[in-house]
Amino acid sequence: MAEIKRIECGARMSEAVVYNGLIWLAGQVGTPGESVTAQTKAILASIDHLLAEAGSDKTRILSAQIWLADIADFAEMNAVWDAWVPAGHCPARATGEARLATPDYRVEIIITAAQA
């Protein structure tokens, strides 16, 4: 039976779970109250960190779910996302509008990736 590895496991959740060559990241958020650009940059840095800890990187992302508190922020978030995703390594992706945990969160990103 394959081992389940939990990364940054707290009382309520793990930031990442690795099982059978796949990595699931918890929803990543930036600093509450910052701009969409700043929150997206912080989230993507956190994703880079967690993927590295799990033995992977952004070229191995399979899918991304992006939640925006206001879909009007789509272009601003995409400007940061597009600069971050390596050419030829775009994951399957869905973006939607949702009420996030607090009104100060503007962006939340959930990632599934393959280990390297």
Q: Give residue limits of the domains in the chain.
A: 4-114
pTM above 0.75, yes or no: yes
pLDDT interval class at 31 (50, 70, 90): very high
Classify residue 95 by burial, with Cβ atoms within 10 Å: 0-12, 13-18, 19+.
Answer: middle
Average of pLDDT values for 1-14? 94
- 2 vs 91, residue with greater confidence: 91
pLDDT tens digits, one per residue of 90-112 = 999 999 999 999 999 999 999 99
pLDDT interval class at 21 (50, 70, 90): very high
Per-chain mean pLDDT for the chain = 97
pLDDT tens digits, one per residue of 54-82 = 999 999 999 999 999 999 999 999 999 99
CA dist list (Å): 87 to 17, 54, 83, 90, 115? 26, 22, 9, 7, 19
According to the model, what pLDDT value does residue 84 have? 98
According to the model, what pLDDT value does residue 64 have? 98
Average of pLDDT values for 7-17? 97
According to the model, what pLDDT value does residue 81 have? 98
Pick the CATH number of 4-114 from 3.30.1330.40, 3.30.210.10, 3.40.50.720, 3.40.50.970: 3.30.1330.40
